[in-house]
Amino acid sequence: MMQPNLSFRNNKLAIYLGSTLLFICVLALTFIFAPLILICALFPFSVRYSIAKYWVGLVLKLANVFCGIRYEVEGLERIEPNRPTVVLSNHQSAWETIAFRYIFPVQTSLFKESLLWIPMWGWAMAVLKPISINRNNKHAALRKLISKGTEALKEGLWVIVFPEGTRMPVGELKRFSAGGAMLAQKSGAPVVPVALNAGKCWPRYSFLKYPGVIKVKIGPIIESEGRKADEINKQAEQWVIQAMREIGG
In a domain, 200, yes or no: yes
**Spatial distance between the Cα atoms of 131 and 107, rounded to a whole number of angstroms:** 11
Mean of the per-residue pLDDT values for the chain?
Answer: 93
Write the pLDDT tens digit of every residue in 52-84: 999 999 999 999 999 999 999 999 999 999 999
In a domain, 63, yes or no: no
Split into its structural domains, the chain has a count of 1
Q: What's phi and psi for 70, nearest 5 deg?
A: -115, 175
**Spatial distance between the Cα atoms of 240 and 246, rounded to a whole number of angstroms:** 10
**Spatial distance between the Cα atoms of 69 and 62, rounded to a whole number of angstroms:** 9
In a domain, 52, yes or no: no
In a domain, 214, yes or no: yes
In a domain, 37, yes or no: no
Listed residue (217, 86, 90) closest to 166, CA to CA: 90
pLDDT at 114: 87
Domain hosting residue 238, numbered range: 70-247
Q: Sheet of 191-196: strands edge to edge?
A: 69-74, 212-218, 191-196, 86-89, 158-161, 107-112, 131-133
Q: CATH number of the domain at 207, please.
A: 3.40.1130.10
pLDDT at 10: 57
pTM of the model: 0.91
Write the pLDDT tens digit of every residue in 194-243: 999 999 999 999 999 999 999 999 999 999 999 999 999 999 999 999 99
Listed residue (23, 27, 103, 121) closest to 67, CA to CA: 23
Does residue 79 come out as left (phi exceeding 0), alpha (psi in the -120 to 50 range) or beta? beta
Answer for the pair 173, 95: CB distance below 8 angstroms, yes or no.
no
In a domain, 14, yes or no: no
**Spatial distance between the Cα atoms of 154 and 187, rounded to a whole number of angstroms:** 9
In a domain, 160, yes or no: yes
Write the pLDDT tens digit of every residue in 146-160: 999 999 999 999 999
In a domain, 149, yes or no: yes
- Examine the pLDDT at 187 and tell me if it is beyond 70: yes
Point out which residues pair with 131 in neighbouring strands.
Answer: 110
